[in-house]
Chain A
Amino acid sequence: MKNVFATRWGIIGVGAIIGVLAASLQYFGNPANMGVCVACFVRDITGAVGLHRAGVVQYMRPEIIGFVLGALAAALIFKEFKPRGGSAPIARFVLGVFAMIGALVFLGCPWRAMLRLAGGDGNAILGIAGLVGGVWIGTLFLKGGYSLGRAKAFPTAAGWIMPLIVSGFLLLMLLNPPTSGEGQSGVLFYSASGPGAMFAPLVVSLAIGLFIGFLAQRSRFCTMGAIRDLVLFRHIHLLSGAIALIVFAFIANLVLGQFNPGFENQPVAHTSHTWNALGMVLAGLAFALAGGCPGRQLFLSGEGDGDAAIFVLGMIVGAAFSHNFGLASSPAGVGPHGISAVIIGLAVCIGIGFFMKEKKLIHS
């Protein structure tokens, strides 16, 4: 059966749709240049369940729940639901932790870096340059034989754990809905102000999340893979999807009056060029070593990939560290320990790149 989404026009179409939907989510209430940000939204979920207590970034983002469940639906319909795992889970967990720490120094994952660019935020150029640099370092390790080893098939139930976890999150949210201006509702934490208090209506967020999850599972959309495949193989397949996302988000921003060019006073952004870039070097390297951008890890976890699910759990822990220990940046600038965290993260990721190798991959 031909998968139309995996063709050139398929991936371009998916990128374009994601770009328009992300800009629309901003119109419907999500924070500026943050229609979809996997890192930010996972961080908000981390806050919603109280694993960090940064009051301005606590919200159970339905987009993330939709990403996993939409990918699950696509995988079930097209018989691609394959529970699997066991490819160095602890290394993947650590990569998830540092990917999140790096992304929160920049203030966005690759998805938001592209949306920030499409919204006119010049600081995103530094972030994207850093991302390219980090992914490039990752490709050097890949060429040198880096591997986290083979995954193996798991019992069916194992593949359902991540979808069930996010379903539980959705249930929690329905049982403890946000109340206007309150920082808490039942067991869940919310933001009374700040980005965490800005969100599209639940139904809109969830529906768009499900739709993007479905499309991304079919098309294998990956913002890190876009850069990696260009550097490693000179393949522009995934890149064409990422560029479509930027172009169409840009057009939608123009139409919706959301395009504000400049470097200063950009929404949820800071102007430290060095750390915008180096934060994303760290994130890009971690994504490259883990084989996918944070969005792709969510989609993979929806189709039963336990290793991707472990990476996502690593991102949650990374978000908690980031806000509990002053590693995350804010519009005021880099956090008090953000710089040391990036340096430690780069050392750890480079170590993983050097030492994780599997011999004898080829059998003849």
Chain B
Amino acid sequence: MSRTLDARGLSCPQPVLLTMDEIKSSGESKLIIIVDNEASRENVSRALKNQGWVVTGIEENGPDYKIMATRG
């Protein structure tokens, strides 16, 4: 069961902040982050990669992007 963060509607840098907090505080090895704009999708993906995580897929669902990542 992977944890899901809902970062929709949040402005910069909160989607990245949420993601980083989650990475640091939880032992989960799978994470799903939902964002609703292209800039957040890029920023969250970049932050995950910087932390050694692997973005395994991005699903587009209407205005939302579902970013799936696993600990590298």
Chain A interface residues (CB < 8 Å from chain B): 3, 6, 78, 80, 82, 84, 87, 142-143, 147-153, 220, 222, 225, 228-229, 232-233, 235, 237, 291-292, 307, 361-364
Contact = CB atoms under 8 A, between A and B. Distances in A.
A272 to B, nearest CB: 32
B38 A87 contact: no
Report the contact-size class of chain B (Cβ under 8 Å from the partner).
20 to 34
Interchain residue pairs A-B with the least CB separation, the first 7: A150-B9, A291-B11, A151-B9, A291-B12, A6-B42, A364-B3, A363-B6
A163 to B, nearest CB: 18
Contacts of B47: 233, 235
Tell me whether chain A's interface is mostly helix, strand or loop, or mixed: loop
25 contacts: A3-B42, A80-B38, A82-B63, A84-B9, A142-B14, A143-B17, A149-B9, A151-B11, A152-B9, A220-B39, A220-B42, A220-B43, A225-B13, A228-B13, A232-B13, A232-B17, A233-B16, A233-B47, A291-B13, A292-B11, A361-B6, A363-B4, A363-B6, A364-B3, A364-B4
B42 A361 contact: no
A267 B42 CA distance: 39
B6 to A, nearest CB: 5
Interface of B: 3-14, 16-18, 20, 22, 36-39, 42-43, 46-47, 50, 63
B46 A237 contact: yes
Nearest to A1: B38
A3 B37 CA distance: 13
